[in-house]
Amino acid sequence: MLNITSGILYLVVLNSKRNNNFDTLNMKDMAKRKRSLILAGLCILSMGGGLLGVLIGILSIIDVEMIRMFARIPGYASIYSLTVGAHFLYPYVKVLLYGVSFVGALKIFQLRKAGYYMYTSAQLILLIIPYLMWNQIPVVVFFTDLPDMIFTIAFIGAYSLYISQMDSAENQEATGTEK
């Protein structure tokens, strides 16, 4: 009787060891794919900025007077005067690029490398279009857009620090993380 009991106990211990090894492997995989708190914060701030940019763009398409309420937000004091004097396509381009920026930040949050490239491309184009669409001399555009430039470079630089944690499309298909 003791022999049978020890055999059952041995099977239970064997199964628990097998499950623990399996759990350990899964924990290692999850530790590799776990995003840091700083990266999550950056993504949330970027997604918020993207949504705010889309909202301001849509409101300026509907009626430019509606964006006066954003003049109280630091960095948005001159948004009304610049949007009124800009090319008529400026709000449409902003909505599109801020939307791409939002999707890029969302993909970065999901640890996808494509999101980094989407976000970086959209933000760099957003830095260039004021020179093309605002009816101002380049020096005025530069100093007006300087805070945006500083934050854009800082966020892209911060995301660059985490690019090694992100998977490319080929790795996602191979590991089955794309679902």
At residue 166, what are phi and psi to the nearest 5 degrees?
-90, 150
* Contact call for residues 122 and 115 (beta carbons, < 8 A): no
Q: How far apart are CA 162 and CA 43, in angstroms?
A: 11
Q: What are phi and psi for residue 134, nearest 5 degrees?
A: -85, 145
- pLDDT by 10s per residue, the chain, length 179: 445 444 444 444 444 444 444 444 444 444 456 789 999 999 999 999 999 999 989 998 998 888 888 777 766 667 777 787 888 899 999 999 999 999 999 999 999 999 999 999 999 999 999 999 988 899 988 888 888 899 999 999 999 999 999 987 666 555 555 44
Q: How would DSSP label each residue in 80-144?
A: HHHHHTS-TTHHHHHHHHHHHHHHHHHHHHTTBHHHHHHHHHHHHHHHHHHHHHSSS-HHHHHHH
pTM: 0.74
Q: Nearest 5°: phi and psi at 85?
A: -85, 0
